[in-house]
Amino acid sequence: MTTAHETVSKYWTICEARDWAGFAALLAEGVVYDLPQPRQRINGRDAFVRFNVEYPGDWHVTVERVVGEGSHAASWVRIALDGEDLPALSFFEFDDFGLIVRITEFWPEPYDPPAGREHLAESY
C-alpha cells in the first residue's frame, strides 16, 4: 500500500498528465469533494472525474508541498490558468484501502494588508 504522501503526489502528477483513468483509480466510489468558499460539493467518483475533465481553460499544476501520514494528507499547489497563478490548499482523507474518500479544497485570494503595519512585515 502506498502512503498518503505518495498518493497525493501521484494525484497531482496524474492531474497534470490528464490521465483521467488513473485519476479515477485513486478515488473511492463515494468520494466527496468540498469547496467551502463557494459552498459547493461534488459527490461520487464519476461526478468528480467529470468535473475535472470539463474544467475550462489550459491549466497546469505545480506542486509546492505535500505532507501526509496515516489516513490524512495535505497539499499546496499552484495552478497556472489564463496567465494567473492560483494557489490551492487541499486536504485529503483516505479509506482503509488507501483510496481518497474526501477532499476539502481552498483557493485563497491575495488581499492588501491593513495600513499601519508596514514596519512589521515585508511585502513581496
Do the Cβ atoms of 117 and 123 come closer than 8 Å? no
Which helix (H) or strand (E) segment holds residue 44: the answer is none
Residue 80 falls inside a structural domain: yes
Domain that holds residue 16: 4-106
Residue 124 falls inside a structural domain: no
pLDDT in tens, 10-25: 999 999 999 999 999 9
CATH number of the domain to which 42 belongs? 3.10.450.50
Burial of 37 (0-12, 13-18, 19+ CB in 10 A): exposed
pLDDT in tens, 38-80: 999 999 999 999 999 999 889 999 999 999 999 999 999 999 9
SS3 call for 52: helix
Residue 118 falls inside a structural domain: no
Q: Which three cell numbers stand for residue 78?
A: 499552484
Domain count, the chain: 1
Residue 115 falls inside a structural domain: no
Residue 96 falls inside a structural domain: yes
Smallest CA-to-CA distance from 100 within 58, 52, 60, 39 is with 52
Residue 21 falls inside a structural domain: yes
The span from the CA of 33 to the CA of 52, in Å, is: 11
Residue 65 falls inside a structural domain: yes
| Model confidence pTM above 0.85 | yes
Residue 123 falls inside a structural domain: no
